[in-house]
Every structure is written in C-alpha cells, then in structure tokens.
Structure 1
Amino acid sequence: MKLWGGRFEKTTDALVEDFHSSISFDQRLYKQDILGSVAHARMLGSVGVISEEEANRMINGLMAILEDIQAGNVEFEIGAEDIHMNIEKLLTERIGPVGKKLHTGRSRNDQVALDLRLYLRSEIDETKILLEELVNTLLNISEEHLETWMPGYTHMQKAQPITFAHHMMAYVQMFLRDLDRLKDTRKRLNTSPLGSGAMAGTTFPLDRMQAALELGFDGVTLNSLDGVSDRDFALEFLATASIMMMHLSRMCEELVIWSTGEFQFITMDDGYSTGSSIMPQKKNPDVAELVRGKTGRVYGDLVALLTVMKGLPLAYNKDMQEDKEQVFDAVDTIQKCLLVVEPMLKTMVVNREAMARGAKGGFTNATDLADYMAKKGVPFREAHELVGRIVLHCSKKGIGLEDMGLSEYQGISPIFEEDLFGAIGIEHCVRARKITGGPSPETVAEGIRVSREGLV
C-alpha cells in the first residue's frame, strides 16, 4: 500500500505508476535525503516530539541504509515512487513501526527542496575546485608565454599585436567571474526549507534552526510557501553553468580555429584528438568541438526549467519534479567539460613562430603608426585617414608598413623620422601598451599575480 494511500479506493494505474515515478533519476539524492532525515529525526527527539530512544533508532537505521546503498546492496522500487518514500519504506521494514514517525512535521515538499539544495551545494563546491584547476592551468600557460607575440582580432580580422599570455588571460577573467557567480549562488541557496511542511509549516514545535545548523546551512527560509516552491537557486546555478559553458565554448572555438592548417598556432595532443574513418591524414580537435556542442545542452537545461516554473501558482506543483533531471544533466555536463578541457590545454603545443608570423601580417601595427603621428602633433583623425591611405598603398604593392623606406614615408610627410621603425615594430607595439589591462609583458605579469591572489 502507498504511504499516502489511505484516501484512495483504487490502486494506481500501471501506466501512471511508471509515469509518476521519479526514482529512476532522483535516487541520486539518496545521501542528501538520508542526511536530511537524520537531522530531522535528531531534532524531533531533541524537542520531544518523539523520544530520544526512537530518534536514535531512526538515525542508526538510516545510517545503516546509507552504508548498504553505497555498497550496492539496495535495489529501489518504482512502486515507492521516489527516493524519499523508498528510504522511509526501507527504514520501516528494518526498525519497525517507529520508522513511520520519521515523517512527523515534514512533507515531501520541503524534503525534496532540502535534498536539492544539499545536492547543489555539494556539486557547486566540486565545480569550483575543477574551475580553479582550469584557471591555474591558464595562469601557468600565460606565465610561459608573456613574450609569445600573436595577432589580436576583431571581426575575425587581424587588428593589433598582442601576446598569447594576454589572450589566455582574457579567459582567466571570464572564469574568475564564473567562480564569483558560483560563490554567490551557493550563498543564496544555503538556507534550509526543512520545516516548511507541505506549504503552511506545521503545528509541531520544531527547532528548524537546529536541523539547519546540523546540515551546514546559514539559516532557514522565512516563508513556508516560498520554502517549498522556490527553485531560484537551481535556476541561478543553471544560468551560471550556461555562462560558464559559453566561456568554455568561446575558448574551444578559438582552439579549433588555431589548430587548422591555415593558422597552425597550436597543435593538439594526440590524446585529445581523433582521426577520420576515411581520410588517413586527419587529426580532428573533437574534444574542443564536443565542449562547444555540449554548451547548447546546458542552455537547454536552463530554458527547460525556466519554462517549467514560469506559470506555476504557489505553492508546490508536480511539474516541479522536472527540475532534477535538468540540474543533474547540467552538473554532469559542466564537470565533464572542465575535467577534459584542463588537461587538453596543458598538453597542447603552442607554435610561437606561427603566431609571430601572424602578428607581422595584416597591418596590425597600423594603429601604432597613427599613434606615432599623433604624438608628433598630427590630429589623430587626420593621422587615421593618412595611415589608411598608406595601408592601401602597401596593400597594392604587397608589402607591410615596416617595408616602406624612410624616404618614401618622408615624401608623404616630413614628421616621419628615424625613430619610426622602432615605433611600428611588432614587439615594441606590444611592450609599449603598459596601461592597466594592456598586453605588455609587465602588465600581463601583474594581472597574473593579482588573479592568483583572487583564487586564494
């Protein structure tokens, strides 16, 4: 008989039994459910709702069930619907009728809200560790390439020379913001809904704060309706995960481009590449491509839960059973991506010569030529127009700005002097940009130092 079956005269239809059950996926919450029940049982004993002896029997029984599940000795039942009722059923079978007192002052509504918060809190902590490892790897790569010159791009057209370190540090900033978002999400979710009951609390004299503190929460939710119906914390995690995946995808997109024969800026390690079943010469950056592809999956998880929640009246509705699969999928996806991207970056080979060649082409020093003129007193807008004409001239001749002779420059304007070529040399163009946030080696080194401090 169902634990809720007293009001019903008929058994649940077999099709509904399967459709209604969530044990196939929410069994992942077994540890959180048991720990939440242990805290609840201990609190019930402390406030005298049940005896201390009954509370201890429940706690011992629950911990034994936890050990058996972790040992693979428990098979969950679809007929018991979900992880909560499976655990309660197992407990009652093991310790007798006293197990039926566990649910006193509690509903599955506040129970599942508690479990999901506990689960996400733990997974956020794990995700933070993985993300910090990725950031450290990027910082190490940046330290190695403070003077690896490369072209920077806008509109996928060569723009100005920078360094590979400067480019990688842009992703460090993105991932540091992701870490902050994870910390903020964790902070907001760390309140306990246990004690909200089905939606209106309970008449039992529960000590909500005792259970909350035992479970590591900072406090308790202050409205029982919101306590059971809030999934903002899950949505916030999914939004944070989506932004993080977007950052991973942008980086992987560039790795895919840079590994092409046209660029040859990097070479992927064989361990993070695959071949073709028909073209023997192929070495494909499949790992980076898969991360790029899986980004859409996490976006879908966010949109799916937003759609589930958008029209729900207060308080709990069965629709909310659909929250867990989206959260589980996003957690699995983001963690797998972080796990594989970090060693992929660590093992890739950076082709410094190819990057340096790329930095010299495409008139990446044109802005520096205009700046040179502006420093000589020419209004920048006039300098910009004149340099544009010089670029057009060089483009037609198939030469770079540094290939024109001084006499030819002086024929254009008498402001050009011997110091011109030093000013438009690629290395000087980068080193001279010492402004905070710029690509000069000293500036980037300082950015690395500050970023490392931010990880502590």
Structure 2
Amino acid sequence: MIRPDATDYRGHRVVGARLAEPVLDDEIGFHSSERERFLLPYYHALDRAQLVTLVERGLVTPADGARMAGALRRLVDPGIEDGYVALGAGMHSGEVALIAELGEAVGGRLEIGRASGEVVQVAWRLMEAAALRSLLGVLAEARGALLDVAAGHTSSVMPGYTHGQHAQVVTLAHVLLAWEAGLARCSRRASEAHARVNLSAAGTGNMSGSDAPLDRERTAELLGFDGPIESTYDAIQHNDHALECLSLLATLGALLTRWAQDLYLYGSQEVAFLELPDRFCGTSALMPQKKNPRLLEYLQGASASALGGLTTALMVEKTPSGGAIVERMLFVEALATGFREAERNLRWLSLAVSESRWDLERMRDLARAHGATASTLASALARERGWAWRTAHEVVGTAVRIAAERGVAAGALTPGLLDEASELYCGEPAGLSAESVAQALDPLTAAARHGLLGGPAPAESVRLLPGRRAALAGDREEHAGLAAHAASAARALDVAFDRVARGELAAGEQAPAS
C-alpha cells in the first residue's frame, strides 16, 4: 500500500501515486509557504469558509466538522504565517494539517471539488481587494494633505514649466489642485477595480467546477466577496483583474514619479523654491556641504516595481489558456510589492509637500524674471490695441529677443522697448502705457487675469477647493462602506466557524451573520 502514514503526509503529490519520485524543490511542487507569505491569511480564510459550507451542505458531518475546525485552529496557534511556514505546504497547508492530525478519512474531505488554481485565484482576489481598500484610504489621506496645503497658497505665484523653460504663471495651489485631481482619478480607478476584483472563484475547480453540491454563493458571502464569478472557466483562465491592478499601480507610480521630479527641481539650489526637512535627506561621506534629497530620489523610482510587474504579467498572460500557472506567481509578488510601495510613496509625497519650507518670495521673483508673464503682456496688447493675437504674440516675442540681446530680463520689458519691437515687426508702436505693461508683467496680476474655469487665478482656486473637499468626503464615505462590508463578512465567518467548531451547525442550516 503506497498511501503514507497520516503523520507523514505532506501533500497530495504522494510518491508512487501519479508521481514516481519526490519533486526536486517545493517551488516545483507549488507548495512554498515561505514564498507565499502575503497570501497565507487568505488561504486560511478560504479553508475556514470551505469547511463551513461543507458542513452546511451535508458533505461533512457536524462531528467531523468540529474536529476539523479544531485542527485548523491549532495550525495557526503560533500565528497564521508561522503555522503555515512551519508546515511548509503552501496553499494546501490546511489539508495537510488535518490529514496529519485526523487522518485522510476525515481531513481529506476539506478540499472536496477544489483545485490549486481555484485556491490561488481566491487568495489573489482577496489580497487585491484588501490592498485596494487600503490604498483607497491612503489616497484619501494624500488628497486631503494636498488640499490643505493648496488652501494656504492660492496667491503663492510661481513659474510653470514646459520644455524646461518658464512658460506661464501658476500658483502653488493651482499645481497642487492638479496633483489632487490626478490622485482623485486614481481613487476612482481603484474603486472601479475593486468592483471587478471582489468576485469569488471559489468552487470553480480548475475550469469546470465539480459535481459535488458546493454552494458558491455562500462561500463568496463568507469571504466578503460581492458574489461569485458566473463562469467557472472565466474565473480560472483570465487574470485581467491582476493586470488592472498592476496598471493602476503603474499609472499612480508614473504620476508620483513626475511630481517627485518636479519637487526635485524645485529643491535644487538653482531654483530653490523649497527646502526639505533634514530627516528626508542624506549627506555625503566626502563632501560635507551636501544635503541630498533622498526621499525624492526614492520617489522618482515610484513606478518601477509596478511597471516591471505589469510587463511580466503581460508576457505571462499571452500564453494559451491554461498554460500560465506557476509563472503567475512572478507577477502576484509584484502586485503585493507594488501595493505596499504605493502606500509608502503616497505618504512620502504628502510629507514632502506639507512639511517642506516653501520660499514664496523666491517663487514670486522667478515667476517674473524669465518671461512667464510674457503671454499675459501679449494678451494685454491684443486687447488694448484690438490687434490679432498672432500680431501681439510676435511683437512681444520680438521684444523678448531684443531684451535678451541687451542683457535685459524678459520680466523687465519697458513700454519703449515694446514700441521698438512693434515698429520692427509691424511698422507701428505698441502704444501701451507704463501702467499697462507693469500690470501685465506682475505675476500675481497675471495669475488673477487667468480667471477662466480651472485657471490659476486665486479666486478660482478658492472656488474649486470646497468642491474638491466635498468629492473627497464622498469618496471617503464610499470607501468606508467597502471596509464595513469586508469587516461584516469577517465577523460572519467567525460566527459560522465558531458554530462548526462547537458542532452546533447541522446539514441544511446556515449560521446567522451575528
């Protein structure tokens, strides 16, 4: 008889059954508890929910269910991770522990109709859903921090950049409101992804389910899913839920990377708009004057893990259906890392913005010095003279060139220089008064004149802030609902599992939610 003694049971790949020799390594056997640490709590949750539904459906007797529940509890007495890692059977640790303690006749019933692919899919989706809910909370914190800083800087003018050159005047509030809008879109993406991720693959086997009378709806309910995935084939063969999460993380990372590079520029000694607190920085072993913005340097690589994971996932998922099994663990690890790093990076960005010292005088001076107000001057010329925009644009451009040739800053144009440029371009003077030129070149006046919807005018930022805060409050309420649903399901599973452990749950009966 080749069946091993129960105390020696180490998983369903018994030597002498389908396989004639032991696997070379646990990785090949797909039984690595160590590698799957981030999935172990979800494997255990599925085992508990599976046992409850097996008892409810009469596939396991109440007496055996009580013994099995006790053995599952003893498996995790040291903690879920420690218990699973000590046993070393990965996703099948629950079954291995039950058979080792209770024998195959009892413990071997836990995985009725269940396949490894199903277990992994359920755990991945549970992990993704929990990570998305956590990320939504951190996104909300970061959005709130940006809005708080923006509220204090609606009149803090600074140059905006294109092609590395001063382009037009903005305010710090205008910039931070744009950043918050990007995070708000990521929040919406995460919420929408949660709706697609939070569906159960439990009971689907490896594509066709089982002829055992399993209750897929009940298992989904106990695990906090919004319901089961309708197609058993779809549930196992398609991993677009993981691709969607990795795409979200890559998109968020790309935004954080750009903003970190902006802050890196703002903090350079040449620009000097901000100074980071010392605790965000390092120094040099050789050059004692150095204060290196290490936090921002980490943030500049914010998209690396998620982008690498997404690339790996896309390559893995291009195989024929049923072909990519073990390889998927490569990008599931990237998912876990990506979610963890995204939360850290969001917190670091919030700190960099809210705790840095912003040099408002320097920002205002540079907003004028290199021509960021030139387009406002061209608008004034077109408006007061009734000229075509292109004519006014070319006159001011000519004036800036002449000023540069004479060593005059673009922000120091005079009516006389403007008249000279206008005569050269179109044969007549510009005719603007000194007051008109001075007002157009003043950064705060320039910002205020851009009072269009969403523009940098201080009044427009003041107008936008309450709406942004209201949208954030609505998102927080939605996120709280998702968290409450997950917590309620966890309590319901605890109640049901406790009844199984006490032998109180009979076939055909369903444990109440509380």
Map 1:8-19 → 2, pairs under 5 A: 8=18, 10-13=20-23, 15-19=24-28
Name stretches of at least 5 consecutive residues in structure 1 with no aligned partner: none
Query: CA 1:405 to 1:301, structure 2 compared with 1: closer, same or farther past 3 Å?
Result: closer
Letter of the aligned partner of 2:322 in structure 1? Answer: L
1:358-377 per-position Cα deviation (integer Å, ceiling 9, x unaligned): 10111111111111122121
User: CA offset at residue 27 of structure 1?
Assistant: 2.8
Which of 61, 64, 71 matches 2:71? Answer: 61
Give the equivalent residue in structure 2 for 1:223. Answer: 231
1:420-449 per-position Cα deviation (integer Å, ceiling 9, x unaligned): 422332111001111111001111122222
Give the equivalent residue in structure 1 for 2:459. Answer: 442
User: CA offset at residue 325 of structure 1?
Assistant: 1.7
Query: CA 1:297 to 1:402, structure 2 compared with 1: closer, same or farther past 3 Å?
Result: closer
Q: Is 1:416 aligned with 2:426?
A: no
Q: Which fold has the larger relative contact order, with Cα–Cα distance below 8 Å and residues 6 or more apart in sequence?
A: 2
| Partner SS for 1:159 | strand
User: CA offset at residue 72 of structure 1?
Assistant: 4.2
Letter of the aligned partner of 1:107 in structure 2? Answer: A
Query: CA 1:42 to 1:159, structure 2 compared with 1: closer, same or farther past 3 Å?
Result: same
Give the equivalent residue in structure 2 for 1:431. Answer: 448
User: CA offset at residue 284 of structure 1?
Assistant: 0.4
Q: Is 1:93 aligned with 2:93?
A: no
| Partner SS for 1:220 | coil
Q: Is 1:52 aligned with 2:62?
A: yes
Q: Distance in 1 between matches of 2:331 and 2:450?
A: 49
Judge conservation of contact 1:160–1:364 (CA < 8 Å) in 2. yes
Query: CA 1:402 to 1:75, structure 2 compared with 1: closer, same or farther past 3 Å?
Result: closer
User: CA offset at residue 237 of structure 1?
Assistant: 0.6
Query: CA 1:315 to 1:410, structure 2 compared with 1: closer, same or farther past 3 Å?
Result: closer
| Partner SS for 1:283 | coil
**Aligned residues with identical type, % of pairs:** 25
Q: Distance in 2 between matches of 1:155 and 1:245?
A: 22
Give the equivalent residue in structure 2 for 1:324. Answer: 332
Query: CA 1:76 to 1:327, structure 2 compared with 1: closer, same or farther past 3 Å?
Result: farther
Q: CA RMSD in A?
A: 2.1
Q: Which moved more, 1:94-103 or 1:302-311?
A: 94-103
Q: Distance in 1 between matches of 2:459 and 2:245?
A: 36
Q: Is 1:393 aligned with 2:393?
A: no
User: CA offset at residue 31 of structure 1?
Assistant: 1.3
TM-score, scaled relative to structure 1: 0.93
Query: CA 1:408 to 1:230, structure 2 compared with 1: closer, same or farther past 3 Å?
Result: closer
Q: Distance in 1 between matches of 2:411 and 2:352?
A: 37
Give the equivalent residue in structure 2 for 1:271. Answer: 279
Give the equivalent residue in structure 2 for 1:379. Answer: 388
Judge conservation of contact 2:198–2:225 (CA < 8 Å) in 1. yes
Give the equivalent residue in structure 2 for 1:191. Answer: 199
Which of 122, 136, 158 matches 1:128? Answer: 136
Give the equivalent residue in structure 1 for 2:176. Answer: 168
User: CA offset at residue 128 of structure 1?
Assistant: 1.4
User: How many residues are aligned here?
Assistant: 452
Give the equivalent residue in structure 2 for 1:211. Answer: 219
Q: Distance in 2 between matches of 1:44 and 1:71?
A: 25
Judge conservation of contact 2:200–2:227 (CA < 8 Å) in 1. yes
TM-score, scaled relative to structure 2: 0.83
Q: Distance in 2 between matches of 1:299 and 1:230?
A: 20
1:313-348 per-position Cα deviation (integer Å, ceiling 9, x unaligned): 237633333342222222232223223332233221
1:379-406 per-position Cα deviation (integer Å, ceiling 9, x unaligned): 1111111111111122223334564444
Which of 290, 301, 306 matches 1:293? Answer: 301
Judge conservation of contact 2:253–2:306 (CA < 8 Å) in 1. yes
Query: CA 1:364 to 1:320, structure 2 compared with 1: closer, same or farther past 3 Å?
Result: closer
1:49-100 per-position Cα deviation (integer Å, ceiling 9, x unaligned): 222333343334334434432484664344x3xx222222123334444221
Judge conservation of contact 2:404–2:410 (CA < 8 Å) in 1. no
Letter of the aligned partner of 2:445 in structure 1? Answer: H
Judge conservation of contact 1:228–1:316 (CA < 8 Å) in 2. no
Q: Which moved more, 1:432-441 or 1:17-26?
A: 17-26
Which of 455, 463, 471 matches 1:454? Answer: 471
Q: Distance in 2 between matches of 1:93 and 1:364?
A: 75
Letter of the aligned partner of 1:207 in structure 2? Answer: D
Which of 34, 39, 64 matches 2:44? Answer: 34
Query: CA 1:407 to 1:338, structure 2 compared with 1: closer, same or farther past 3 Å?
Result: closer
Query: CA 1:9 to 1:140, structure 2 compared with 1: closer, same or farther past 3 Å?
Result: closer
Q: Distance in 1 between matches of 2:409 and 2:19?
A: 88
Which of 352, 356, 364 matches 1:344? Answer: 352
Q: Which moved more, 1:318-327 or 1:297-306?
A: 318-327
Name stretches of at least 5 consecutive residues in structure 2 with no aligned partner: 1-8, 423-428, 474-514
Judge conservation of contact 1:245–1:298 (CA < 8 Å) in 2. yes
Q: Distance in 1 between matches of 2:387 and 2:81?
A: 78
Give the equivalent residue in structure 2 for 1:25. Answer: 35
Query: CA 1:190 to 1:375, structure 2 compared with 1: closer, same or farther past 3 Å?
Result: same
